Amino acid sequence: MKENARILATRLKYVLLGRDPLFLLVPGLLPGADRSPPLEEKSFDLIVSHDLVLLPLAFRIKKGKSKVILDAREFYPKNFDDQLVWRLTSKPLNQYLCRKYLRLCDRVFTVSEGIAEEFHAQYGVLPEVIMSLPEYHALQPSPVDRDHIRIIHHGWASPSRRIDRMIQVMDYVDDRFTLDLMMIPGKERAWREILQMAETRENVQVIPPVEMPDIVPFTNQYDIGLFLVPPTNFNLKYTLPNKLFEFIQARLCVAIGPSIEMRKIVEQYRCGIVSSDFSPRSMALELNKLDEYQISRLKGNSDGAAQILNADENGKKILTLINELWGKTDTGTHPTEPWI
């Protein structure tokens, strides 16, 4: 507990002083820790940072004509704005890092148009939108049992995501539906609540998670992928999560609330249903309207979308953007290794 308090106090101090708290951001860089082998002694053509807090390290090891790309998975200054402790601790650090480093990056990627527009509005940097697309899987939609329609939700049990609302949906659906929750536990109190809610419902169960590469083939056996997530913070308002595309790649009918970015995809590819609001009753109303033929048709539309919304298509776009950094247009040409 004292160690956590010391690190928290030091983090705030370095934010206020405008220094880069590398030893808080990178394991092994605590004062007195062994720093070997030092990255500063190596040379890289391309440095890809998959988190904002690693940008100080990226620019510390950058040399000469090295290029730096930030893969911004969230709009970091508003990441968990619904949580007071986060606003008091992590928010100032994220704001400082964005102010100092975003304009120095050679490219910034992010996951949705809404998040890209906010980066542009707040920091004058317009990221390229690279959606969180999974690998392509050669699957077929599974057959639908008219008397047993299986729903799956998978992901992290974050309190911000209000998993309880998805469980409450099952109080209002007819007896054809069951819900499996394949979750990675979040905060202990919220996780206990999820387990307790599932235990009191016959049509809800919590199942063990599978490895990430197995998510799509495992969930192919289901009929509907459910993600009813209220906009409790900025990033959830504009979320375009990997689970949406995993639902599609698994050839499921998608069931979502009126989330701005997800709705665009579902309506463009006609691969699911969108409730009128984020209430459990509203989602249950839409689910109850479905029959096995409609579900089969929507799963078939996901099959078509899966041919497009996959990592192969992302790879082509990313390679083009990377080659542009070296003034190249041939997407078969790679910058010299190594990358980090």
Confidence (pLDDT) at 154: 95
Confidence (pLDDT) at 21: 47
Paired strand residues for 148: 145
Is residue 333 predicted with pLDDT exceeding 50? no
Residue type for position 37: P
pTM for the whole structure: 0.82
More confident residue, 160 or 34: 160
DSSP 139-165: --PPPPBTTBEEEEEEEE--GGG-HHH
Express each pLDDT in 160-197 by its tens digit.
889 999 999 999 999 999 999 998 887 788 889 999 99
pLDDT > 90 fraction of the chain, expressed in percent and rounded: 62
Interatomic CA distance for residues 124 and 93, integer angstroms: 19
Domains in the chain with CATH codes:
2-129 (no CATH), 149-306 (3.40.50.2000)
253-256/224-227 β-pairing: parallel
Express each pLDDT in 62-118 by its tens digit.
888 889 999 998 999 988 888 888 888 888 999 999 999 999 999 999 999 999 999
DSSP 313-333: HHHHHHHHHHHHHTT---TT-
The most confident of 92-96, 217-221, 314-318, by mean pLDDT: 217-221
